[in-house]
Chain A
Amino acid sequence: MTAEIRNDVIVATEHIKAPPEVVFPYFTDPALIVTWIGDRAELDPQPGGVFSLGMGETVARGAYITVEPPYRVVFSWGVPGDETLPPGGSTVEVVLTPDGDDTMVVLTHRGVPSTHLDTHRAGWEHQLGLLRGAAG
């Protein structure tokens, strides 16, 4: 498991002992996604379909942009009512690559506000909210 944070892009990777066909629904099925992130989800996995993930008091909301089972899914990510990080304010691309019988997951989050104060305020407030939610 590695992570790289460069400018406004976060890249995280993970190796999972299951094929992409098994892993993919964990990004599109509300009952499966909450087994690893968030505590409630509303997902409509088709281009333009809603992506909504509740994490404690915070809700990440966006829309599916690309849905190509079982190898690639892209969705936008933001906070409703937040002018500087609106739903669709950043995008998460997940690529599942077969590795024998396993899967390499590469997740790229683009448009992530920097934690520095001279960028989007609500951005890092949002991220802090996510942290609190994820920690709980």
Chain B
Amino acid sequence: MAERKQSTPAAPDAVLRALADPHRRQILRLVKHSELPAGQIAASFTLTQQAVSQHIGVLKQAGLLTERREGTRRLYTLRHEALDPVRELLSEFWPDALSRLKKAVETAHPRPPKR
């Protein structure tokens, strides 16, 4: 049976919004297995460092990045568990669709009252 974490307080909205940008997804791919300093992340893009910093900020806000300071450097890595709410949403796609199917069919074909 599906595990439903009813206690998950974070709505997936912030995560979905954060994921809705290709640059931000690229950042997540860079740090999914390794911790990288901001400078090295920025070096992978043709964007300005400031633009990359903004993207990192959005990802941090959404809980998708863990930040660690080492001297003057800031190091980032993916917080995998932040994706859990999205996974839960995806697991509801077909059940939600079938609920609508049930409603559509039963509305269009109401059972005659039992005699």
Contacts and interface: CB of A to CB of B under 8 A. Distances in A.
**Do A and B assemble together?**
yes
Main secondary structure of the interface of A (DSSP, over half): mixed
B99 interface: yes
B86 A115 contact: yes
B98 A12 contact: yes
B87 A117 contact: no
A12 B92 CA distance: 9
B32 A118 contact: yes
Interface string A1-27: 111110000101111111000110010
Interface of A: 1-5, 10, 12-18, 22-23, 26, 32, 35-37, 101, 105, 107, 109, 112, 115-118, 121, 124-125, 127-128, 130-131, 134
A121 B86 contact: no
A127 B2 contact: no
Contacts of A130: 93
A128 B20 contact: yes
Nearest to B22: A125
Interface of B: 1-2, 16, 19-20, 25, 28-29, 32-33, 78, 80, 83, 86-87, 89-106, 108-109, 111
Contacts of A131: 16, 89-90, 93
A36 B93 CA distance: 12
Contacts of A5: 2, 87, 90-91
A18 B106 contact: yes
Given A15-B102, A18-B109, A117-B78, A37 B97 contact: yes
Contacts of B29: 117, 121
A10 B32 CA distance: 25
Q: Which of A3, A118, A124, A127 has the most CB of B within 10 A?
A: A3
